Amino acid sequence: MDDYLTRIGAARPAAADLAALRTLQRAHLGTVPFENLSIGLGEPVRLDDEGLLDKIVTRRRGGFCYEVNGAFALLLRELGYEVTMHSARTWNGERFGFPFDHLALRVVLDGVPWLVDVGYGRFAHHPLRLDTTEPQQDPGGEYSVVPHGDELDIMGPGGPEYRFDTRVSAMGDFKPTCWYQQTSPDSFFTTRLTCSRLTEDGRITLAGDKLIRTTAEGRDERQLTEAEAMESYRTDFGIALNRLPAPRFPA
């Protein structure tokens, strides 16, 4: 776990408190990309502890929600946090998707539940309280939590983000949907490539061969050649590839 902390550029906290959790989450979002390149490269996605840590820490890669939130949960538990995994159903613009479509984390500090998510791409930079409906200000925008039966609707700056199931899940519960996300032509992750992380002044994303930089001043897009895309993966995301990934199915 010391290697994990070095990977994200964070010191081992003196206490497992909210301030340290905020620092760790922000550090993770700025260094470990949200990416689905393994699917585009034909690599297996492993959800066991050894596989998660090997990819995120040793191979210095990123991953999608099951991988990066799964690995982050291991780090947080090692540091003394009370962490549970939860299913979430992501909003597709019209409705919420199916259970276990997304893996999110809940951390309880002094009896207060917090939503922690480093595997959702553009999202809150810091933990969000789950026990209040009051608006919560975050560097990523304004968020709020709306109860919906046994679930919680997480609302972001642009509307619904996902519906969070308050029941605790285990990593094994996510394996069927993880397999679906890797193999179905209806999955976002088999039809599009994405690699994205926070920067000091915004976000950088490589979507296929399009490099997108967003800051408070605006958005810049640039089409890359194959050689430029390989270099961007290396310099902008710290990912050294031998070949470019390709979508498994046409969009």
Q: Among 28, 65, 86, 236, which one carries the catalytic annotation? A: 65
As a whole number of angstroms, the distance between CA 38 and CA 244 comes to 11
What secondary structure, in 3-state letters, does the chain show? Answer: CHHHHHHHCCCCCCCCCHHHHHHHHHHHHHHCCEECHHHHHCCCCCCCHHHHHHHHHHCCCCECHHHHHHHHHHHHHHCCCEEEEEEEEEECCCCECCCCCEEEEEEEECCEEEEECCCCCCCCCCCEECCCCCCEEECCEEEEEEEECCEEEEEECCEEEEEEECCCECHHHHHHHHHHHHHCCCCHHHHCCCEEEEECCEEEEEECCEEEEEECCEEEEEECCHHHHHHHHHHHHCCCCCCCCCCCCCC
Q: Among 28, 101, 117, 165, which one carries the catalytic annotation? A: 117
Q: Among 28, 86, 102, 126, which one carries the catalytic annotation? A: 102
Q: Would residue 195 show up in a list of annotated catalytic residues for this protein?
A: no
For residue 159 the two structure tokens come to 């509307």
Write out the catalytic residue numbers.
Answer: 65, 102, 117
